[in-house]
């Protein structure tokens, strides 16, 4: 790729750049907004993590020690909503904001003001979600949403004010995500550098393009579903009330029509960045660029038509069960293409194992376990046993912690020197990786066995025979949670200073983003590069 990088003597800020808090409140710069998304995400990651550590502490031993079951139920539901909507999704959007303009040679995002608005909707939404906890302390209401993150009717129709707060929070988070998605699609389709055809576009941008389309299609359906829930609760409609002619299973369809693509919404940006990292540290070009693009699209399309595998025990007729089983299993084909491309990218490369590469390889191995256990769950006959057990909990944490969060950490370590202009501490990074990957397996591997042995999820107390595995899992969870403080400290140190990073940062990089200075100038590409 030949590019023309011209001297960038830009005039920063046009003379009236606000400083301090006003800079962040009013910024329309894609890098500032990306930084805010990532900071918010890290903060909420610790909030959601603290909640689940309280849960794991309760589960350390059988019996009720620390909290009432109602509070336990609130913690698990809000943990999931916080981690999905306030930690993982904003992290991916932060990556998109920072990297897409750099990668496609654009000066900024297409709709910078919308971008600012999209971010600043997030803090109020997160406050709405968690406020009922605080209100309950003052005797208002009975705490946060306690239905689990899936908000299944009729339980959610009967729930307290926490459900209403969660519904409004989901509305706002949804609007924010849709605005972010529209912005990303407009940026990708309209602002690529001359010569960068869609097929030449970096895979990270491709992953996000598919994600953004999925978000625009599925989030409004969830918004519709929770709106029906709201009117059922307060305005006398009977969408989910069987006595009034409604159907509670309809809620499950509406929820999972969003909920399943949501899994790919969380993972596609990570799948997009993974090949860049693998190629950099293997010092080889990405293997199967085109195949991976079609893999993303195929998974996006298939992801839209498999939702009912989340409630195969709800009483679906056998032909429907078979359809959802086979279509779910079919997703493993394009996913296997991605896995083979990742491995082939490393094949016979001159590999080195810096922190991002360690996380990338950890991701491939552990996310592979998520995929394989997912195939087991997709089997209708087997699912009858595994459904609603700890097997499911272990499976989706392999997908969303090892796949999602470790993927995000791969990206953070990989791009942090580019963002800050400093190198992070490699020693701390490696320590963080090994602590994370070992304690992660200590936390979640026992949960597979717990699920196989029949321990149901979402219970604060359990039978005695599950005690040992739960104790191991809790110890693992606390090590896992505390190790993340190392990550926060490493990022903080890197932002504050450290060894200067070169423009290219890593020896084996290629792509437009590595031709800008580290950190990149205020306006990324004042002069668009030309790709031949």
Partner 1 sequence: MREATLPPPRSHGRLVSRLVLLAAACFAFGFALVPLYDTLCRVVGFNGKTLKDAIAAGDVAPGGLDASRKLGVQFTTTLMPGLPWEIRPLEPSIELHPGELRTTRFLVRNLSDKPIVGQAVPSVSPTVAAKHFKKLDCFCFTQQTLAPGESREMALTFIVDREIGPEISELTLAYAFFPAPTPPSGSTQ
Determine which residue in the list 54, 66, 155, 249 makes contact with partner 1, applying CB under 8 A.
Answer: 249
Determine which residue in the list 81, 96, 102, 228 makes contact with partner 1, applying CB under 8 A.
Answer: 228
Surface-to-core class of residue 464, CB atoms within 10 Å of its CB (0-12 exposed, 13-18 middle, 19+ buried): exposed
Write out the binding residues for partner 1, residues 315-374 only, by CB under 8 A: 315-318, 320
From 2-10, 80-88, 159-167, 468-476, give the range in contact with partner 1 by CB under 8 A: 2-10
Q: Applying CB under 8 A, does 405 fall inside the site for partner 1?
A: no
| Shortest spacing between CB 111 and partner 1, in angstroms | 6
Determine which residue in the list 225, 356, 460, 508 makes contact with partner 1, applying CB under 8 A.
Answer: 225
Q: Applying CB under 8 A, does 110 fall inside the site for partner 1?
A: yes
Beta bridge partners of 144: 162
Beta bridge partners of 389: 456
Q: Is 435 left (phi over 0), alpha (psi -120 to 50) or beta?
A: alpha
Q: Applying CB under 8 A, does 244 fall inside the site for partner 1?
A: yes
Determine which residue in the list 15, 20, 139, 236 makes contact with partner 1, applying CB under 8 A.
Answer: 236
Place of tokens 């990303």: 184
| Shortest spacing between CB 230 and partner 1, in angstroms | 13
Q: Applying CB under 8 A, does 157 fall inside the site for partner 1?
A: no
Identify which of residues 67 and 221 has a Cβ nearer to partner 1 in the complex. 221
Q: Are 192 and 127 in contact (CB under 8 A)?
A: no
Q: Are 153 and 240 in contact (CB under 8 A)?
A: yes
239: helix, coil or strand? coil
Q: Count the neighbouring beta carbons within 10 Å of the beta carbon of residue 155.
A: 16
Structure tokens belonging to residue 138: 């003052």
Query: Distance between the two ends of the chain, CA-based, in angstroms?
Result: 6
Place of tokens 């939404």: 125
Q: Applying CB under 8 A, does 261 fall inside the site for partner 1?
A: no
From 95-103, 232-240, 388-396, 475-483, give the range in contact with partner 1 by CB under 8 A: 232-240
Count of residues that interact with partner 1, criterion CB under 8 A? 52
| Shortest spacing between CB 257 and partner 1, in angstroms | 8
Identify which of residues 250 and 486 has a Cβ nearer to partner 1 in the complex. 250
Determine which residue in the list 99, 196, 223, 406 makes contact with partner 1, applying CB under 8 A.
Answer: 223
Beta bridge partners of 500: 422
Q: Applying CB under 8 A, does 112 fall inside the site for partner 1?
A: no
Determine which residue in the list 47, 193, 360, 491 makes contact with partner 1, applying CB under 8 A.
Answer: 193
Place of tokens 């409604």: 246
Q: Applying CB under 8 A, does 247 fall inside the site for partner 1?
A: yes
Query: What's 89's DSSP letter?
Result: H
Orientation angle between helical segments 112-120 and 161-190, nearest 10 degrees: 160
CA dihedral 294→297→299→302, nearest 10 degrees, is: -120
389: helix, coil or strand? strand
Q: Applying CB under 8 A, does 253 fall inside the site for partner 1?
A: yes
Instruction: State how far the Cα of 154 lies from the Cα of 158, in Å rounded to an integer.
Output: 7
From 1-9, 201-209, 478-486, 513-521, give the range in contact with partner 1 by CB under 8 A: 1-9
Q: Count the neighbouring beta carbons within 10 Å of the beta carbon of residue 285.
A: 12
| Shortest spacing between CB 221 and partner 1, in angstroms | 4
Residues found near partner 1 in the complex (CB under 8 A): 2-4, 6, 107, 110-111, 178, 181-182, 185-186, 189-191, 193-194, 216-225, 228, 235-236, 238-239, 241-244, 247, 249-250, 253-254, 257, 315-318, 320, 526-530
């Amino acid at each position: 790729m030949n590019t023309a990088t011209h001297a960038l003597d830009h005039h920063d800020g046009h003379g009236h750049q606000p400083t301090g808090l006003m800079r962040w409140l009013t910024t329309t710069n894609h890098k500032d907004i990306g930084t805010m998304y990532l900071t918010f995400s890290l903060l909420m990651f610790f909030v959601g993590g603290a909640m689940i550590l309280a849960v794991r502490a309760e589960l350390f031993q059988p019996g009720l020690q620390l909290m009432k079951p109602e509070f336990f139920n609130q913690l698990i539901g809000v943990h999931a909503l916080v981690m999905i909507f306030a930690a993982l999704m904003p992290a991916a959007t932060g990556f998109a904001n920072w990297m897409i303009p750099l990668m496609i040679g654009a000066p900024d995002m297409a709709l910078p003001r919308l971008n600012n608005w999209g971010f600043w909707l997030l803090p109020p939404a997160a406050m709405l979600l968690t406020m009922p906890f605080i209100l309950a302390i003052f005797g208002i209401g009975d705490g946060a949403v306690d239905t689990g993150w899936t908000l299944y009717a009729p339980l959610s129709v009967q729930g307290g004010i926490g459900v209403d707060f969660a519904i409004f929070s989901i509305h706002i988070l949804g609007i924010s995500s849709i605005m972010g998605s529209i912005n990303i699609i407009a940026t990708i389709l309209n602002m690529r550098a001359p010569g960068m055809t869609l097929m030449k576009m970096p895979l990270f941008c491709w992953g996000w393009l598919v994600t953004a389309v999925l978000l625009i299609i599925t989030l409004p359906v969830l918004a519709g579903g929770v709106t029906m829930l709201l009117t059922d609760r307060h305005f006398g409609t009977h969408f989910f009330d069987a006595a009034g002619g409604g159907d509670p299973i309809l809620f499950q369809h509406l929820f999972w029509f969003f909920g399943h693509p949501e899994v790919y919404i969380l993972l596609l940006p990570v799948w997009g960045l993974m090949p860049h990292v693998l190629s950099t540290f293997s010092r080889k070009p990405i293997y199967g660029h085109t195949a991976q693009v079609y893999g993303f699209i195929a998974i996006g399309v298939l992801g839209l038509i498999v939702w009912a595998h989340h409630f195969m025990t709800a009483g679906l007729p056998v032909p429907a069960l078979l359809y959802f089983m086979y279509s779910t299993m079919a997703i493993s084909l394009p996913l296997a293409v991605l896995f083979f491309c990742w491995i082939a990218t490393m094949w016979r490369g001159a590999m080195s194992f810096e922190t991002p590469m360690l996380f990338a390889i950890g991701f491939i191995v552990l996310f592979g376990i998520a995929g394989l256990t997912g195939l087991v769950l997709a089997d209708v006959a087997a699912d009858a046993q595994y459904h609603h057990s700890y097997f499911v909990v272990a499976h989706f944490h392999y997908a969303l912690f090892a796949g999602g969060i470790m993927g995000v950490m791969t990206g953070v370590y990989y791009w942090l020197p580019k963002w800050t202009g400093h190198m992070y501490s490699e020693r701390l990074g490696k320590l963080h990786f090994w602590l994370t990957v070992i304690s992660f397996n200590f936390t979640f591997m026992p949960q597979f066995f717990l699920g196989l042995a029949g321990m149901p999820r979402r219970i604060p107390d359990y039978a005695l025979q599950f005690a040992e595995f739960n104790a191991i899992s809790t110890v693992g969870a606390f090590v896992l949670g505390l190790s993340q403080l190392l990550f926060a400290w490493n990022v903080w140190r890197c932002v504050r200073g450290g060894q200067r990073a070169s423009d290219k940062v890593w020896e084996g990089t290629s792509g437009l983003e590595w031709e800008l200075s580290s950190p990149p100038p205020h306006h990324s590409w004042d002069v668009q590069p030309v790709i031949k």
